[in-house]
Structure 1
Amino acid sequence: MENNLVFNIPSYTDDNSAFPKPVHRNYDYWVPLINHFLAKSDTIEIHCWNEEIDTIEEIKSLHIGTFEMFKEENITIFKGKKTSTLSDYLMNNNMNIFGEFKWFTVNFDKGMVPVFHSGHWGTEFFVPNAMEKDIAIIKSVTPTETSFNQY
């Protein structure tokens, strides 16, 4: 049975910031989630706010030929085919120098079909057509206080 699944990691924001951070102050769930859903995808899309210059420059420096950059009014979008360099970057380079998650949004697609969405700096997620195995893996790696909504 397939379900759409929305899940939110318990998070907080500092008084002078709109940047959500996990309550437990770690992103231990990120690598297992990414590892699982990268295997099901062939296209990766990353969104950064235009003022996140260091992260944008870092992505550009990866020199991934199939990765295109689109600049909109407030956001920079990178999109292209999954590569081992990009997969490694997402799994092993996900924090900035301030200990914050690097990317506002990360999307995985298979062809033109969405597979996985991470939003609000790795604290809000959507998995369309999640299989029971997907849901079990997600629940096994996310904090126990994570909220889930299946429909």
Structure 2
Amino acid sequence: MHKYSVHFEIINNLRSTSEGWLVPNSYDFWKPLVLRYIKYSDTLRIDCWNNDEYAINRILPYAKKIDRESNPNMTSVWLDIHFDVIDDIINNPFDNEQKIAWFSLFLETDEKCFFSSEHYGKEFSVLEVNKEEVEFLRTFITTDFCFHTWDSSDIS
């Protein structure tokens, strides 16, 4: 059976943050998209810029592992998946500029990433899914996104 990987990035209806990041005007897709995939995850990794104390401090109470060494500019925090984490990620994801608070979010199972949200919820990847899931994503995302898919069956 073929497995596919998908990357989609919002390219229209963007706004600029105070730091110059282009982010979506609307995050209507956030909650249903994250809910669709978080149920398959046992671990969540969140990456934040070191100077983004608000974002880091929000997730520290849930941390099971913190890495401030691998990338000198970023703090990576691993969290177990449980109700409080899910609730915060899907129902309270925004900072004071109404952008996703975390630079990157990775859903993992058995230490293998299968879903990512990067650049404050502007880019997404979903890895090793079947054709039906690719078609769902094509119908779910809006024309504001550019959408790429490739056969990842032979990629290990």
- Aligned counterparts of 2:64 and 2:148: Cα–Cα separation in 1: 33
After superposition, residues 28-39 of structure 1 pair within 5 angstroms as: 28-39=28-39
2:127 & 2:43 partners in 1: Cα distance? 16
State the shift of 1:101 in Å. Answer: 1.6
What RMSD in Å do the two structures reach over aligned CA positions?
1.9
- Secondary structure at 1:77 match in 2: strand
Given that residues 7 and 148 in structure 2 are in contact (C-alpha distance below 8 angstroms), is that contact kept between their aligned partners in structure 1? yes
CA distance in 1, matches of 2:145, 2:58: 31
- Cα distance in 2 for partners of 1:15, 1:129 equals 33
Counterpart AA for 1:28 = D
Whole-angstrom distance in 1 between the partners of 2:132 and 2:101? 28
Secondary structure class of the residue paired with 2:16: coil
The number of residues matched between the two structures is 146
Q: Distance in 1 between matches of 2:17 and 2:41?
A: 37
1:5 maps to 2:6: yes
Following superposition of structure 1 onto structure 2, how do residues 90-129 of structure 1 map, counting pairs within 5 Å?
90-129=89-128
Corresponding residue of 2:22 = 20
1:16-52, Cα deviation, whole Å (9 max, x unpaired):
6431211xx1101111110001011111000000111
Work out the percentage of aligned pairs sharing the same amino acid. Answer: 23
Give me the whole-angstrom Cα distance separating, in 1, the residues matched to 2:130 and 2:66.
32
CA deviations over 1:120-140 (Å, ceiling 9, x no partner)? 111111111122333233333
Matches within 5 A, 1:65-76: 67-72=64-69, 73-76=72-75
Specify the code of the residue in structure 2 equivalent to 1:68.
K
Structure 1 contact 9–142 (Cα < 8 Å) conserved:
no
Q: Could you tell me how far apart the structure 2 residues matched to 1:121 and 1:133 are?
A: 27
Q: TM-score under structure 2 normalisation? A: 0.84
What are the superposed Cα offsets for residues 96-130 of structure 1, whole Å, 9 maximum, x if unpaired? 11212211100001112221011111111111112
